[in-house]
Structure 1
Amino acid sequence: MNLKDWLIPDEIQSGTNATLNMFRTVSRTSNFWKKQLFAAAVPFLIGGGASFLLVPDVSALQDKSQLKDVITNVMTFSSVLAGFIVTLMLFTGRTEGANSLDVDQANNYISKVKYLIFSQIVTLLVYLACIFSCLWWLIVFGLQLKSCYLSMSWHSTAGLLLLSIFRTVLLPLQIYEVHDFELQTLHDEKYAEYQKSLQDFLKDK
Protein backbone atom coordinates (compact mmCIF):
# COMPACT_ATOMS: atom_id res chain seq x y z
CA MET A 1 0.00 0.00 0.00
CA ASN A 2 1.28 3.48 -0.89
CA LEU A 3 2.27 5.86 1.88
CA LYS A 4 -0.23 8.43 0.62
CA ASP A 5 -3.07 5.98 1.28
CA TRP A 6 -2.07 6.02 4.93
CA LEU A 7 -1.58 9.76 5.35
CA ILE A 8 -3.52 11.72 2.70
CA PRO A 9 -7.35 11.77 2.90
CA ASP A 10 -9.22 10.39 -0.11
CA GLU A 11 -10.96 13.70 -0.85
CA ILE A 12 -7.55 15.39 -1.21
CA GLN A 13 -6.29 12.64 -3.50
CA SER A 14 -9.37 12.73 -5.73
CA GLY A 15 -9.35 16.54 -5.79
CA THR A 16 -5.67 16.56 -6.76
CA ASN A 17 -6.26 14.07 -9.56
CA ALA A 18 -9.19 16.11 -10.89
CA THR A 19 -7.10 19.30 -10.74
CA LEU A 20 -4.21 17.69 -12.63
CA ASN A 21 -6.66 16.47 -15.26
CA MET A 22 -8.02 19.99 -15.60
CA PHE A 23 -4.51 21.43 -15.99
CA ARG A 24 -3.71 18.89 -18.70
CA THR A 25 -6.77 20.05 -20.61
CA VAL A 26 -6.43 23.82 -20.26
CA SER A 27 -2.66 23.95 -20.83
CA ARG A 28 -2.89 22.59 -24.37
CA THR A 29 -3.03 26.08 -25.84
CA SER A 30 0.21 27.71 -26.98
CA ASN A 31 2.24 29.58 -24.35
CA PHE A 32 -0.45 28.90 -21.77
CA TRP A 33 1.55 29.73 -18.63
CA LYS A 34 3.23 32.78 -20.16
CA LYS A 35 -0.14 34.26 -21.07
CA GLN A 36 -1.56 33.56 -17.63
CA LEU A 37 1.43 35.12 -15.85
CA PHE A 38 1.40 38.15 -18.14
CA ALA A 39 -2.34 38.72 -17.65
CA ALA A 40 -1.87 38.56 -13.86
CA ALA A 41 1.36 40.55 -13.62
CA VAL A 42 0.34 43.58 -15.68
CA PRO A 43 -2.75 44.66 -13.64
CA PHE A 44 -0.95 43.86 -10.38
CA LEU A 45 2.08 45.96 -11.28
CA ILE A 46 -0.06 48.83 -12.58
CA GLY A 47 -2.16 48.88 -9.41
CA GLY A 48 0.84 48.62 -7.10
CA GLY A 49 2.79 51.20 -9.13
CA ALA A 50 -0.09 53.68 -9.09
CA SER A 51 -0.43 53.22 -5.34
CA PHE A 52 3.29 53.84 -4.86
CA LEU A 53 3.15 57.03 -6.94
CA LEU A 54 0.13 58.36 -5.04
CA VAL A 55 1.15 57.27 -1.53
CA PRO A 56 4.87 56.37 -1.46
CA ASP A 57 5.03 55.99 2.32
CA VAL A 58 1.80 55.04 4.08
CA SER A 59 3.39 55.39 7.52
CA ALA A 60 4.05 59.09 6.84
CA LEU A 61 0.33 59.85 6.87
CA GLN A 62 -0.86 61.24 10.19
CA ASP A 63 -4.44 59.95 9.98
CA LYS A 64 -4.46 56.29 8.97
CA SER A 65 -8.04 55.61 10.07
CA GLN A 66 -9.32 56.44 6.59
CA LEU A 67 -6.90 53.93 5.09
CA LYS A 68 -8.22 51.36 7.53
CA ASP A 69 -11.75 52.02 6.27
CA VAL A 70 -10.55 51.61 2.67
CA ILE A 71 -8.89 48.28 3.49
CA THR A 72 -12.04 47.07 5.27
CA ASN A 73 -14.20 48.00 2.28
CA VAL A 74 -11.82 46.27 -0.13
CA MET A 75 -11.95 43.14 2.01
CA THR A 76 -15.77 43.24 2.03
CA PHE A 77 -15.82 43.75 -1.74
CA SER A 78 -13.51 40.78 -2.31
CA SER A 79 -15.48 38.57 0.10
CA VAL A 80 -18.77 39.24 -1.71
CA LEU A 81 -17.20 38.51 -5.08
CA ALA A 82 -15.60 35.33 -3.74
CA GLY A 83 -19.01 34.05 -2.69
CA PHE A 84 -20.43 34.93 -6.09
CA ILE A 85 -17.68 33.14 -8.00
CA VAL A 86 -18.19 29.97 -5.96
CA THR A 87 -21.89 30.01 -6.88
CA LEU A 88 -21.01 30.64 -10.52
CA MET A 89 -18.61 27.68 -10.53
CA LEU A 90 -21.38 25.39 -9.27
CA PHE A 91 -23.61 26.24 -12.24
CA THR A 92 -20.95 26.43 -14.97
CA GLY A 93 -21.48 23.59 -17.41
CA ARG A 94 -24.95 22.69 -16.18
CA THR A 95 -26.78 23.34 -19.43
CA GLU A 96 -29.62 21.31 -20.85
CA GLY A 97 -28.27 21.75 -24.36
CA ALA A 98 -25.30 19.50 -23.60
CA ASN A 99 -27.55 16.44 -23.74
CA SER A 100 -28.05 16.78 -27.50
CA LEU A 101 -24.36 17.02 -28.43
CA ASP A 102 -22.58 14.39 -30.49
CA VAL A 103 -19.21 12.93 -29.45
CA ASP A 104 -17.00 15.57 -31.09
CA GLN A 105 -19.15 18.46 -29.86
CA ALA A 106 -19.21 16.96 -26.36
CA ASN A 107 -15.40 16.80 -26.23
CA ASN A 108 -15.14 20.45 -27.27
CA TYR A 109 -17.80 21.41 -24.75
CA ILE A 110 -16.03 19.54 -21.94
CA SER A 111 -12.75 21.28 -22.74
CA LYS A 112 -14.50 24.66 -22.80
CA VAL A 113 -16.20 24.06 -19.44
CA LYS A 114 -12.91 22.95 -17.88
CA TYR A 115 -11.22 26.12 -19.12
CA LEU A 116 -14.03 28.31 -17.78
CA ILE A 117 -13.84 26.62 -14.37
CA PHE A 118 -10.06 27.01 -14.37
CA SER A 119 -10.43 30.72 -15.09
CA GLN A 120 -12.98 31.02 -12.29
CA ILE A 121 -10.65 29.21 -9.87
CA VAL A 122 -7.90 31.71 -10.74
CA THR A 123 -10.36 34.56 -10.11
CA LEU A 124 -11.32 33.03 -6.75
CA LEU A 125 -7.65 32.73 -5.75
CA VAL A 126 -7.12 36.39 -6.65
CA TYR A 127 -10.05 37.40 -4.44
CA LEU A 128 -8.69 35.30 -1.57
CA ALA A 129 -5.21 36.78 -2.02
CA CYS A 130 -6.72 40.26 -1.86
CA ILE A 131 -8.60 39.34 1.33
CA PHE A 132 -5.45 37.94 2.97
CA SER A 133 -3.49 41.03 1.92
CA CYS A 134 -6.11 43.21 3.60
CA LEU A 135 -5.96 41.07 6.75
CA TRP A 136 -2.18 41.36 6.79
CA TRP A 137 -2.43 45.14 6.50
CA LEU A 138 -4.86 45.25 9.42
CA ILE A 139 -2.54 43.04 11.47
CA VAL A 140 0.49 45.21 10.68
CA PHE A 141 -1.54 48.34 11.46
CA GLY A 142 -2.91 46.92 14.70
CA LEU A 143 0.44 45.63 15.98
CA GLN A 144 2.26 48.75 14.79
CA LEU A 145 4.99 46.80 13.05
CA LYS A 146 7.70 48.36 10.88
CA SER A 147 6.48 51.04 8.50
CA CYS A 148 7.96 49.24 5.48
CA TYR A 149 5.59 46.31 6.10
CA LEU A 150 2.63 48.70 6.20
CA SER A 151 3.57 50.31 2.89
CA MET A 152 4.37 47.01 1.15
CA SER A 153 1.07 45.54 2.29
CA TRP A 154 -0.81 48.63 1.10
CA HIS A 155 0.80 48.57 -2.36
CA SER A 156 0.29 44.81 -2.79
CA THR A 157 -3.37 45.23 -1.81
CA ALA A 158 -3.76 47.94 -4.44
CA GLY A 159 -2.23 45.68 -7.07
CA LEU A 160 -4.46 42.75 -6.09
CA LEU A 161 -7.51 45.05 -6.09
CA LEU A 162 -6.87 46.10 -9.68
CA LEU A 163 -6.25 42.47 -10.65
CA SER A 164 -9.54 41.54 -8.94
CA ILE A 165 -11.38 44.19 -10.94
CA PHE A 166 -9.79 42.90 -14.14
CA ARG A 167 -10.83 39.32 -13.34
CA THR A 168 -14.34 40.53 -12.42
CA VAL A 169 -14.74 42.18 -15.84
CA LEU A 170 -14.15 38.76 -17.41
CA LEU A 171 -17.04 37.15 -15.52
CA PRO A 172 -19.90 38.63 -17.62
CA LEU A 173 -18.08 37.47 -20.76
CA GLN A 174 -17.81 33.95 -19.38
CA ILE A 175 -21.48 33.94 -18.39
CA TYR A 176 -22.39 35.11 -21.89
CA GLU A 177 -20.24 32.36 -23.39
CA VAL A 178 -22.25 29.73 -21.53
CA HIS A 179 -25.55 31.30 -22.59
CA ASP A 180 -24.33 31.64 -26.16
CA PHE A 181 -23.64 27.91 -26.25
CA GLU A 182 -27.12 27.20 -24.90
CA LEU A 183 -28.76 29.44 -27.50
CA GLN A 184 -26.69 28.00 -30.34
CA THR A 185 -27.60 24.47 -29.27
CA LEU A 186 -31.28 25.47 -29.14
CA HIS A 187 -30.98 26.89 -32.66
CA ASP A 188 -29.35 23.69 -33.94
CA GLU A 189 -32.06 21.53 -32.35
CA LYS A 190 -34.87 23.60 -33.84
CA TYR A 191 -33.20 23.63 -37.25
CA ALA A 192 -32.78 19.83 -37.11
CA GLU A 193 -36.46 19.46 -36.20
CA TYR A 194 -37.43 21.75 -39.07
CA GLN A 195 -35.32 19.77 -41.52
CA LYS A 196 -36.85 16.51 -40.33
CA SER A 197 -40.40 17.84 -40.57
CA LEU A 198 -39.67 19.17 -44.06
CA GLN A 199 -38.30 15.80 -45.17
CA ASP A 200 -41.35 14.02 -43.73
CA PHE A 201 -43.61 16.46 -45.55
CA LEU A 202 -41.83 15.85 -48.85
CA LYS A 203 -42.04 12.09 -48.35
CA ASP A 204 -45.78 12.32 -47.84
CA LYS A 205 -46.10 14.25 -51.08
Structure 2
Amino acid sequence: MPRAGLTPQRIVEAAVDLVDTAGLDRLSVSALARGFGVKDASLYSHIRGLADLRARLAVHCAAEFADRIGSAVAGRSGRDALAAFAGAYRDYAVSHPGRYAATQLELPPEVLAGSPGHAALVEHTYLLLRPYALAEPDGTDAVRLLRSTFHGFAALEATGAFHAAREVPASWNRIVEALHTLLTNWPPTPTHP
Protein backbone atom coordinates (compact mmCIF):
# COMPACT_ATOMS: atom_id res chain seq x y z
CA MET A 1 0.00 0.00 0.00
CA PRO A 2 1.39 3.44 -0.93
CA ARG A 3 2.64 5.57 1.97
CA ALA A 4 -0.01 8.15 2.95
CA GLY A 5 0.78 11.62 1.65
CA LEU A 6 3.25 10.51 -1.02
CA THR A 7 2.25 11.30 -4.58
CA PRO A 8 4.25 11.57 -7.79
CA GLN A 9 3.78 15.36 -7.66
CA ARG A 10 5.09 15.65 -4.07
CA ILE A 11 8.07 13.49 -5.00
CA VAL A 12 8.87 15.68 -8.01
CA GLU A 13 8.52 18.84 -5.89
CA ALA A 14 10.96 17.38 -3.37
CA ALA A 15 13.31 16.52 -6.24
CA VAL A 16 13.11 20.14 -7.45
CA ASP A 17 14.18 21.37 -4.03
CA LEU A 18 16.95 18.78 -3.77
CA VAL A 19 18.54 19.53 -7.14
CA ASP A 20 18.56 23.26 -6.47
CA THR A 21 20.28 22.85 -3.12
CA ALA A 22 22.51 19.82 -3.72
CA GLY A 23 22.80 19.64 -7.53
CA LEU A 24 21.33 17.38 -10.17
CA ASP A 25 24.14 14.86 -9.74
CA ARG A 26 23.05 14.29 -6.11
CA LEU A 27 19.49 13.35 -7.05
CA SER A 28 18.68 9.79 -6.01
CA VAL A 29 15.67 7.82 -4.87
CA SER A 30 17.46 7.15 -1.58
CA ALA A 31 18.08 10.86 -0.93
CA LEU A 32 14.42 11.66 -1.53
CA ALA A 33 13.25 8.74 0.62
CA ARG A 34 15.44 10.01 3.48
CA GLY A 35 13.87 13.45 3.07
CA PHE A 36 10.41 11.94 3.43
CA GLY A 37 11.49 9.69 6.29
CA VAL A 38 10.56 6.53 4.42
CA LYS A 39 12.31 3.57 2.82
CA ASP A 40 13.18 3.68 -0.89
CA ALA A 41 10.48 1.11 -1.62
CA SER A 42 7.79 3.59 -0.57
CA LEU A 43 8.72 5.85 -3.48
CA TYR A 44 8.60 3.00 -5.99
CA SER A 45 4.83 2.90 -5.52
CA HIS A 46 4.78 6.30 -7.27
CA ILE A 47 7.78 6.34 -9.62
CA ARG A 48 9.46 3.60 -11.64
CA GLY A 49 13.01 4.49 -10.64
CA LEU A 50 15.66 7.15 -11.03
CA ALA A 51 15.27 7.45 -14.82
CA ASP A 52 11.52 8.03 -14.42
CA LEU A 53 12.16 10.56 -11.64
CA ARG A 54 14.70 12.47 -13.74
CA ALA A 55 12.29 12.55 -16.69
CA ARG A 56 9.45 13.84 -14.51
CA LEU A 57 11.79 16.44 -13.03
CA ALA A 58 12.89 17.56 -16.50
CA VAL A 59 9.29 17.94 -17.68
CA HIS A 60 8.35 19.87 -14.53
CA CYS A 61 11.33 22.23 -14.76
CA ALA A 62 10.91 22.80 -18.50
CA ALA A 63 7.33 23.93 -17.88
CA GLU A 64 8.49 26.29 -15.14
CA PHE A 65 11.31 27.64 -17.34
CA ALA A 66 8.97 28.13 -20.31
CA ASP A 67 6.47 29.98 -18.11
CA ARG A 68 9.21 32.37 -16.95
CA ILE A 69 10.32 33.07 -20.49
CA GLY A 70 6.76 33.35 -21.81
CA SER A 71 5.85 35.87 -19.12
CA ALA A 72 8.98 37.89 -19.80
CA VAL A 73 8.43 38.20 -23.56
CA ALA A 74 4.64 38.66 -23.52
CA GLY A 75 3.68 41.75 -25.53
CA ARG A 76 7.24 42.41 -26.70
CA SER A 77 8.99 42.01 -30.03
CA GLY A 78 12.32 42.61 -31.67
CA ARG A 79 15.14 43.84 -29.48
CA ASP A 80 12.85 44.23 -26.43
CA ALA A 81 11.71 40.61 -26.70
CA LEU A 82 15.28 39.42 -27.20
CA ALA A 83 16.45 41.28 -24.06
CA ALA A 84 13.49 39.98 -22.02
CA PHE A 85 14.00 36.41 -23.24
CA ALA A 86 17.73 36.56 -22.58
CA GLY A 87 17.23 38.04 -19.13
CA ALA A 88 14.66 35.43 -18.11
CA TYR A 89 16.89 32.66 -19.45
CA ARG A 90 19.95 33.89 -17.59
CA ASP A 91 18.06 34.55 -14.37
CA TYR A 92 16.53 31.07 -14.31
CA ALA A 93 19.79 29.31 -15.17
CA VAL A 94 21.84 31.19 -12.59
CA SER A 95 19.21 31.33 -9.82
CA HIS A 96 18.12 27.70 -10.20
CA PRO A 97 21.15 25.75 -11.43
CA GLY A 98 19.76 22.33 -10.54
CA ARG A 99 16.40 22.99 -12.16
CA TYR A 100 18.08 24.47 -15.22
CA ALA A 101 20.35 21.41 -15.49
CA ALA A 102 17.23 19.25 -15.42
CA THR A 103 15.84 21.13 -18.44
CA GLN A 104 18.97 20.10 -20.35
CA LEU A 105 18.60 16.36 -19.72
CA GLU A 106 18.30 14.12 -22.75
CA LEU A 107 14.87 12.51 -22.63
CA PRO A 108 13.34 9.54 -24.41
CA PRO A 109 11.50 10.74 -27.54
CA GLU A 110 8.07 9.80 -26.15
CA VAL A 111 8.67 11.81 -22.97
CA LEU A 112 9.98 14.81 -24.89
CA ALA A 113 7.01 14.66 -27.28
CA GLY A 114 4.61 14.76 -24.31
CA SER A 115 6.34 17.63 -22.51
CA PRO A 116 4.41 20.92 -22.92
CA GLY A 117 7.27 22.88 -21.36
CA HIS A 118 9.85 21.66 -23.84
CA ALA A 119 7.49 22.41 -26.72
CA ALA A 120 6.81 25.89 -25.31
CA LEU A 121 10.54 26.64 -25.02
CA VAL A 122 10.98 25.86 -28.72
CA GLU A 123 7.88 27.87 -29.62
CA HIS A 124 9.00 30.90 -27.58
CA THR A 125 12.38 30.84 -29.30
CA TYR A 126 10.98 30.71 -32.82
CA LEU A 127 8.39 33.40 -32.00
CA LEU A 128 11.22 35.56 -30.69
CA LEU A 129 12.96 35.23 -34.05
CA ARG A 130 9.88 35.94 -36.20
CA PRO A 131 10.52 39.72 -36.51
CA TYR A 132 14.00 38.98 -37.82
CA ALA A 133 12.45 37.16 -40.81
CA LEU A 134 15.01 34.37 -41.01
CA ALA A 135 14.17 31.61 -43.48
CA GLU A 136 15.38 28.07 -42.89
CA PRO A 137 18.03 26.90 -42.33
CA ASP A 138 18.95 30.32 -40.93
CA GLY A 139 16.20 30.16 -38.29
CA THR A 140 17.58 26.91 -36.90
CA ASP A 141 21.11 28.31 -36.96
CA ALA A 142 19.95 31.41 -35.08
CA VAL A 143 18.16 29.29 -32.46
CA ARG A 144 21.36 27.32 -31.92
CA LEU A 145 23.39 30.54 -31.66
CA LEU A 146 21.05 32.00 -29.03
CA ARG A 147 20.84 28.81 -27.01
CA SER A 148 24.62 28.32 -27.08
CA THR A 149 25.28 31.91 -26.07
CA PHE A 150 22.74 32.03 -23.25
CA HIS A 151 23.68 28.58 -21.95
CA GLY A 152 27.41 29.21 -22.08
CA PHE A 153 27.23 32.62 -20.43
CA ALA A 154 24.93 31.41 -17.65
CA ALA A 155 27.04 28.30 -17.03
CA LEU A 156 30.20 30.38 -16.69
CA GLU A 157 28.49 32.97 -14.52
CA ALA A 158 27.00 30.33 -12.23
CA THR A 159 30.46 28.90 -11.53
CA GLY A 160 31.99 32.31 -10.87
CA ALA A 161 34.22 32.12 -13.94
CA PHE A 162 34.11 35.82 -14.83
CA HIS A 163 37.00 37.57 -13.09
CA ALA A 164 37.64 40.64 -15.27
CA ALA A 165 37.08 44.07 -13.76
CA ARG A 166 34.17 44.76 -16.14
CA GLU A 167 30.82 44.18 -14.49
CA VAL A 168 29.06 41.04 -15.68
CA PRO A 169 25.70 42.79 -16.38
CA ALA A 170 27.47 45.30 -18.63
CA SER A 171 28.97 42.48 -20.70
CA TRP A 172 25.61 40.72 -20.81
CA ASN A 173 23.85 43.83 -22.12
CA ARG A 174 26.49 44.28 -24.85
CA ILE A 175 26.15 40.63 -25.86
CA VAL A 176 22.37 40.96 -26.16
CA GLU A 177 22.82 44.11 -28.24
CA ALA A 178 25.37 42.33 -30.45
CA LEU A 179 22.97 39.41 -30.93
CA HIS A 180 20.22 41.82 -31.95
CA THR A 181 22.56 43.45 -34.47
CA LEU A 182 23.59 40.06 -35.85
CA LEU A 183 20.00 38.81 -36.13
CA THR A 184 18.98 42.06 -37.86
CA ASN A 185 21.88 41.73 -40.32
CA TRP A 186 22.02 37.96 -40.66
CA PRO A 187 24.45 36.99 -43.43
CA PRO A 188 22.86 35.31 -46.44
CA THR A 189 23.17 31.54 -46.67
CA PRO A 190 25.86 30.71 -49.20
CA THR A 191 24.66 28.91 -52.29
CA HIS A 192 26.59 25.86 -53.42
CA PRO A 193 26.82 24.83 -57.05
TM-score, normalising length: structure 2 = 0.25
**Structure (1 or 2) with the larger CA radius of gyration:** 1
Higher helix share: 1
Query: Which of 1 and 2 has higher RCO (CA within 8 Å, sep 6+)?
Result: 1
